[in-house]
């Protein structure tokens, strides 16, 4: 659960019941600094002399605001649209793609006008009838650590559970999911967990839940009938990598319910980086030992036009063969979306 050091309320947020509730909650806590500001003044209240400090202050800051533009971004290939409930994340994963997306002060921002957001989701769904429209709740955030404050995921899961032509999905590295268990989801929400070996989590995924807790949370959700999935990412090739990923998946198998109501979804993504990301990462994590040596990698143009450094072809082939074999061996009831 996110425990912010400072909470910044944008001017109109308190006019919404959730905004008023959060103001009451946070302003009575003497440990938390409170500000009320116009939208364009948020960053002035987040301290830091340089990128290193600004990053850490941003990660300790919660902004409570309103989603004004209700034009949803597309979210291919994961879904048709992003559902803009939250942006940012309390985690400090060194390789996080958000490091280059959220500016120098990467605060967590929640939107209190959830009804407006869901109404707009309904408009988008109507436009695509009779096709089903899929919404992604974690495109620019991890929405789970703020769920105990907002109950936004609970509202969305209940809403999508009542919709014949709309579906919802999100992914997390956190475990605040107990309030989601008993909801009428009607199999319309798919919840995925990002997983990695303990070596990788301990080295690079700062302030996130352990793999043990993520697996426990997934198992609980599965026993309440949710479709669940796992994004194994980023996969690194390092001494003992095969043994450790094997152990992780063996452990996953042993902790999940024996009878699954839905196939497990797997997505496996090898580590890759852009030079822009590398430069940002080395500024905010000056002692990082993330493997980012261009000599060890192969350059590849991505689908969005920028180039990235991926593992060389032989290593990728070996990795694909390894995961294909092990997933087939351990999880007969599954769907592997991709191994890339």
With respect to ligand SF4, which residue has the nearer C-beta, 100 or 242?
100
DSSP string, 31-75: TSEEEEE-GGGGGGGS--SSHHHHHHHHHTEEEEE------PPEE
* Nearest approach, Cβ of residue 280 and ligand SF4 (Å): 13
Site membership for ligand SF4, residue 203 (CB under 6 A)? no
What are phi and psi for residue 312, nearest 5 degrees? -60, 160
Contacts (CB under 6 A) with ligand SF4, residues 106-165: 142
For the bound state, the minimum distance from the C-beta of residue 136 to ligand SF4, rounded and expressed in Å, comes to 13
Is the previous residue joined to 234 through a cis bond, with omega within 30 degrees of 0? yes
Query: To which H or E segment does residue 250 belong?
Result: helix 241-255
Among 63, 75, 96, 248, binds ligand SF4 (CB under 6 A): 96
CB-wise, 16 or 149, nearer to ligand SF4? 149
Quick one: which H or E segment has residue 106? none
Query: Judged by CB, which is closer to ligand SF4: 72, or 204?
Result: 204
Residue from 141, 39, 166 nearest 86 by CA: 141
CB 105 within 8 A of CB 57: yes
Rounded to the nearest 10°, the torsion over CA 214, 106, 62, 193 is -10
Choose which of 83, 85, 93, 252 interacts with ligand SF4 (CB under 6 A).
Answer: 93
**What span, in angstroms and rounded, lies between the C-alpha atoms of 72 and 78?**
14
Does position 91 interact with ligand SF4 (CB under 6 A)? The reply is: yes
Segment lying near ligand SF4 (by CB under 6 A), choices 93-101, 126-134, 175-183, 295-303: 93-101
By CB under 6 A, tell whether 175 contacts ligand SF4.
no
Decide whether 92 or 133 has the Cβ nearer to ligand SF4: 92
Q: How far apart are the first and last CA of the chain?
A: 31
From 85-93, 155-163, 226-234, 290-298, give the range in contact with ligand SF4 by CB under 6 A: 85-93
89 belongs to the binding site for ligand SF4 (CB under 6 A): yes
58/65 with CB nearer ligand SF4: 58
- Is residue 167 a contact residue for ligand SF4 (CB under 6 A)? no
- Among candidate residues 324, 176, 144, 182, the one with its CA nearest the CA of residue 249: 324
Is 20 a residue that touches ligand SF4 (CB under 6 A)? no
Short-list 88, 73, 67, CA closest to 124: 73
**Minimum distance from CB of 145 to ligand SF4 (Å)?**
9
User: Rule CB under 6 A: is residue 173 a binding residue for ligand SF4?
Assistant: yes
Q: Which parts of this chain interact with ligand SF4 (CB under 6 A)? A: 89, 91, 93, 96, 98, 142, 173, 205, 208
């Amino acid at each position: 659960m996110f425990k912010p050091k400072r909470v910044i309320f944008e001017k109109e947020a308190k006019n919404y019941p959730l905004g008023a509730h959060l103001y009451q909650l946070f302003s009575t806590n003497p440990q938390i600094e409170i500000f009320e500001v116009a939208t364009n003044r948020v960053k002035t209240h987040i301290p830091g002399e340089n990128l290193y400090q600004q990053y850490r202050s941003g990660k300790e800051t919660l902004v409570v605001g309103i989603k004004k533009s209700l034009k949803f971004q597309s979210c291919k290939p994961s879904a048709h649209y992003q559902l803009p409930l939250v942006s940012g994340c309390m985690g400090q994963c060194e390789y996080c793609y958000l490091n280059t997306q959220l500016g120098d002060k990467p605060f967590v921002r929640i939107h209190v006008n959830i009804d407006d957001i869901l109404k707009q989701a309904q408009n988008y769904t109507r436009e695509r009838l009779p096709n089903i429209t899929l919404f992604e709740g974690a495109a620019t955030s991890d929405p789970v650590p703020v769920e105990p404050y907002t109950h936004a995921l609970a509202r969305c899961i209940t809403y999508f559970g009542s919709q014949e032509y709309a579906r919802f999905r999100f992914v997390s590295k956190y475990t605040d999911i107990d309030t989601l268990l008993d909801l009428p989801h009607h199999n319309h929400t798919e919840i995925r967990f990002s997983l990695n070996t303990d070596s990788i989590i301990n080295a690079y995924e700062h302030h996130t839940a352990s793999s043990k807790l993520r697996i426990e949370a997934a198992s609980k959700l599965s026993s309440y009938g949710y479709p669940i999935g796992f994004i194994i990412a980023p996969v690194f090739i390092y001494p003992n990598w095969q043994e450790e990923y094997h152990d992780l998946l063996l452990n996953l198998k042993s902790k999940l319910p024996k009878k699954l109501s839905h196939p497990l979804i797997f997505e496996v993504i090898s580590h890759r980086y852009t030079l822009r990301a590398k430069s940002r990462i080395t500024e905010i994590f000056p002692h990082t030992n993330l493997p980012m040596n261009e000599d060890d990698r192969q350059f590849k143009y991505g689908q969005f036009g920028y180039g990235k450094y991926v593992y060389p072809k032989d290593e990728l082939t070996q990795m694909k063969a390894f995961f294909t074999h092990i997933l087939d061996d351990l999880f007969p009831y599954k769907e592997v979306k991709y191994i890339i």
